[in-house]
Amino acid sequence: MVHRDVISVTSRAQKVKVEPGAGTLLWILQRLSSYGLLLFLPIHLYFTYFTKLDTPALTYNGMRETFSAFPLWYVLNEGLLLICALFHGLNGFRNVIYDWTTNSAVRHTVNFLLIVLGIAGAILGFWTLWALA
């Protein structure tokens, strides 16, 4: 444990026990991925949901039209959306677990499972994007 001055959550600076390197990078990445989601997810939902509300079902050709109408840009949008959504979702789940328990065995197991899930999701996601785009 390292003692650091923490001033952001209290009115007066005080010494608070902080685990070394405890999640500062992940916290920043969670914020950065949220900015990404605010940009990429509305575009994804616009083309896959809101403009397709009147069509009976999403079709392969209907979906391909978006990829050909915005070559490279839409693939880039979907790829970056996949990275941001996977990281934001899985790291958010990690945050819930870390708030729920301080048991390091549980935390390490969850970390391992989430990394595996993230890599598997990225492989399947990018492979699907490559096959569809």
Partner 1 sequence: MSTRTILDRYQTSASYLARILLRFSGLLLTVYMLTYIWELSTVIRTSDEPAGTAAAAFNTAMAAYNTTFWHITHAVVVALVVLHALTGLRVLTLEAGFGARFQRASFWLSLVLTVALFVLLFIKIIANLAA
Instruction: Give the binding site for partner 1 (CB under 8 A).
Output: 31, 34, 37-38, 41, 45, 49, 53-54, 56-61, 63, 82, 85-86, 89-90, 92-93, 96, 117, 121, 124-125, 127-128, 131-132
Q: Which helix (H) or strand (E) segment is 5 a member of? A: strand 2-6
Closer CB to partner 1, residue 18 or residue 121? Answer: 121
CB atoms within 10 A of CB 117: 14
Distance CA 104, CA 122 (A): 26
Place of tokens 């996977």: 86
Closer CB to partner 1, residue 61 or residue 104? Answer: 61
Closer CB to partner 1, residue 17 or residue 31? Answer: 31
